[in-house]
Amino acid sequence: MPFKIVRNDITKVKADVIVNTANPNPICVSGTDLAIYEAAGKEQLLAERTGIGKIARGDIAVTGA
């Protein structure tokens, strides 16, 4: 599959994954991070992130869609 850059609302794009460089702590207060939490279901995603805990710089975490 070719690489493609799309300028759009990240929460409205049909994609296999959304990669978000966000605060390493499980919080959602503003910007792109908040938009992703709201689109995913804020309480459910926050519960998943709380279960993961702090994400160290350079590490990744995967949550459900």
Instruction: Identify whether the C-beta of residue 23 lies closer than 8 Å to the C-beta of residue 55.
Output: no
pLDDT confidence of residue 22? 66
Segment 40-60, tens digit of pLDDT: 888 998 898 889 888 888 888
pTM of the full structure: 0.69
**36, 44, 28, 41: which is closest to 10 by C-alpha?**
36
How many angstroms separate the Cα of 45 from the Cα of each of 15, 31, 52, 55?
Answer: 18, 16, 11, 15
pLDDT-based confidence at 4, cuts 50/70/90? confident
Can you tell me the distance from the alpha carbon of 6 to that of 10, in angstroms, rounded to the nearest whole number?
9
Phi, psi of 7 (to 5 degrees): -100, 110
